[in-house]
Amino acid sequence: MISLGGVIGAGLFVGSGAVINQTGPAAVLSYLAAGSLVILVMRMLGEMAVARPKTGSFASYAGEALGPWARFTVGWLYWYFWVIVLAVEAAAGAAIIQEWLPGVPIWLSSLVLMVLLTATNLVSVRSYGEFEFWFASIKVAAIVAFIAIAAGYVITGGGVEQLTAEGGFTPKGGMTILSGVVIVIFAFVGAEIATIAAAESDEPGESVRKATNSVITRVLVFYVLSVFLIVAILPWNSAELGKSPFATALDEIGIPAAAQVMNVIVLTAVLSCLNSGLYVASRMNFSLARCGDAPQWMVSLNGRGVPARAILIASSIGFLSVVANVISPDKVFLFLLNTSGAVALFVYLLIACSQLVLRRRLEREDPDALQIRMWAYPYLTYFTIGAIGVVIVSMALVEDVRSQLWLGLLSVGAVLAAYFVKSRVQGTRDEGGGGRGRFDPSARPQASRPRSPAGR
């Protein structure tokens, strides 16, 4: 259920409306293209995670394949992305609560939501899994119910005339499909969380295998099919789409109280994202500390096998970002948001590069570990690297996300500079040169190799 729900967030329930407004009915192709790219990345990640399940998985793989600089860069960029997402989701949830309780300020509701989910993560990894199971169940049930209702409406007389009724299938031109991909791809970030959580499961290989094999169905059904039904039912240029496309479609069909029902679903998606964000940020921080890329006090585990300090740091920074959103939403918080917006793409790019290198190494050293294999290797891997590069370059051409690209590059530069300073201070250099260094846990002192988070 974590793998099923991880790809369903507020980006689908709310953000899809803005994409449809910008792209028209062809938005369904933007979702299909972006989803296909994520499917390829997940397949590569699944191959590595089944062969070598690790906490903080893809940061570790980047270190093995490309050198310590890549491990440091991927880990800190991904951690930074999620601590900012915590603030975004907490503010979104607080805004929904404010509709029900107008007298409660957003900062207070955000604090309450973050405290509740922090407490959940501090108890044990089992409690995280239980909460995420139920959050994911609600989201999946909502999507399935919407698809059943909307498909029934279309089949029994609603028709699909809206696909071409307002200026055709691509009313703003074919290039908007590409610009839509640039925006849409960020809605899929989170699918990879299952590979991190698998490291703490009883059967990590089987868990990742199931998550990887189901990603195609998740993308095609939850995103592509639901967006297709929305653009088939509603005019793409409807102003109501930007507020809540699912609620607007249900209103059109005639479902009573659709807006309130969707508010509950969106709040569930927000809580799920907060829950997962705290989990994945803390595990990535733990992994970085275990490798010597973060302060060593971060590797401390509480009696339940949970990296409590890493969780509290992520929660604290997330709430400070919420405060920035309240005090200076158009300056400080917007800057933080834009600096984190593109980093997931750089992380995906390094995941693909890591798989390209590690696959060759695994075939040579341990071919039996390759229980999941990337399709058409290495050609689809090269294609994925090129496609991600095209998306990154395209960001410079799309006005709405151009600032995210430049500030995202600033974030990458800052992390690389931090690695350079750390290396100089510690007097270390990447082993092997040329990016061929490989992290070997057995080479580190025993005291710096604590047990992985547990708490099952």
- The string of DSSP codes covering 38-91 is HHHHHHHHHHHHHHS--TTHHHHHHHHHH-HHHHHHHHHHHHHHHHHHHHHHHH
Peptide bond into 245 cis (omega under 30): no
Q: Output 230-233 pairs: Cβ under 8 A, ≥24 positions apart.
A: 230/16, 230/20, 230/150, 231/20, 231/24, 231/25, 231/27, 231/28, 231/162, 231/163, 232/25, 232/150, 232/154, 232/158, 232/159, 232/160, 232/162, 232/163, 233/150, 233/153, 233/154, 233/158, 233/162
Locus of tokens 């917006």: 341
Q: What is the pLDDT of residue 4?
A: 65
What count of Cα atoms within 13 Å lies in the side-chain half-sphere of residue 136? Answer: 19
Structure confidence by residue, pLDDT tens digits, 299-338: 888 888 888 899 999 999 988 888 888 888 888 888 888 8
- Helix residue spans in 101-163 (DSSP H): 106-123, 125-153
Note the pLDDT of residue 440: 37
CA dihedral defined by 148, 151, 155, 157, rounded to 10 degrees?
Answer: 100
Give the Cα separation of 341 and 81 in Å (integer). 7
In the chain, which residues have pLDDT < 70? 1-7, 55-56, 198-199, 428-456
**Are residues 381 and 44 in contact, defined by beta-carbon separation less than 8 angstroms?**
yes
Closest CA to 352 of 394, 376, 386, 391: 386
The two tokens of residue 209 are: 């295998």
pLDDT of residue 274: 86
Q: How far apart, in whole angstroms, are the C-alpha atoms of residue 218 and residue 198?
A: 18
Nearest-5° Cα angle at 220, 216 to 222: 110
Q: Give the per-residue pLDDT at 239.
A: 80
User: CA–CA distance from 314 to each of 6, 94, 202, 298, 455 (Å)?
Assistant: 19, 19, 26, 11, 19
Supply the pLDDT for residue 449.
36
**Cα gap 83→86, rounded to integer Å:** 5
pLDDT for 300 equals 81
Chain mean position to CA 144: 21
- Nearest one of 414, 403, 418 to 342, comparing CA atoms: 403
In angstroms, what CA-CA distances link 320 with 124, 238, 287, 310? 24, 36, 23, 16
CB-CB contact of 7 with 188 (8 Å): yes
| CA dist list (Å): 82 to 43, 136, 265, 375 | 22, 19, 21, 29
What does the alpha-carbon distance between residue 279 and residue 122 come to, in Å, rounded to a whole number?
9
92: its two tokens: 């979104």
How much is the pTM?
0.86
Predicted local distance difference test score (pLDDT) of residue 55: 60
Q: What is the number of residues in the chain? A: 456
What type of residue is 205?
G
- Let me know: does 113 contact 269? Beta carbons within 8 Å: no
Q: What is the reported pLDDT for 313?
A: 92
Structure tokens at 6: 């991880």
Is residue 215 within 8 A of residue 191, CB to CB? The reply is: yes
The confidence score (pLDDT) of residue 14 equals 79
Report the candidate in 243, 246, 223 with the shortest Cα–Cα distance to residue 31: 223
| Euclidean distance between CA atoms 262 and 63, whole angstroms | 42
